[in-house]
Structure 1
Amino acid sequence: MAILPYVLALINLFMFCTRLSYATDTLTQFQSLPDGRTLVSRDGSFELGFFSPGSSRNCYLGIRYKNNSSMLNINTEGYLVILSQNHTVVWLAIQLYNF
């Protein structure tokens, strides 16, 4: 019986660690995405979640490209683009309608 507290401590540690590293690429109708959790695309390129920049008290929902060497740019046609480290287009915002 002396080993039981150690087993319970390991289970608690495991549960804590899995909550910290929780990420999925799917959100179903009966699930929620609380602050501190993210949705990560299947290939790991994009992440959606809540964030507060700097010391801001405001919380924003954002999608980011998970690559430290990417750049946000506006191309010569005026479209917002995300470029990879070797300057290839990873994502391009296009205008679908003219109002």
Structure 2
Amino acid sequence: MFTDNSNVIHLLFIVLAIDTLSQPFLASALVDTSAIQAGGNSKYPMIVTTIGIWGVRTLGVYLFAWHLGLGLPAVWASIAADNALRAFLFMRYRKKAKPTTFLVI
């Protein structure tokens, strides 16, 4: 819509495909982060988010986009990998956590 440059359109298609595939992981990470924090554990989501942002996103963007020159798709792939890692770690947390018993008065 804004350009006729085929290279830009191709990159946009790749980025949108990566973003589309990563949406379930993003939704899972957002919901689980909030649920775990609401359950009284704010330390675990903070640690997982710190590892994801600094370990996966930052190092992934530096290594793949800058060092190897893979460009914009590598940036979005690093974001998708961060969301997938966080979704996996939160799923593992949920499976290991004991169910909370609520007392209804």
TM over 0.5: no
TM-score category (smaller protein): 0.3 to 0.5
The structure with the largest helix share of the pair is: 2
Q: What is the TM-score normalised by the length of structure 1? A: 0.33
Find the structure with the greater CA-based Rg.
Answer: 1
Q: What is the TM-score normalised by the length of structure 2? A: 0.31
The structure with the largest strand share of the pair is: 1
Structure with greater contact order relative to length (CA < 8 Å, sep ≥ 6): 2
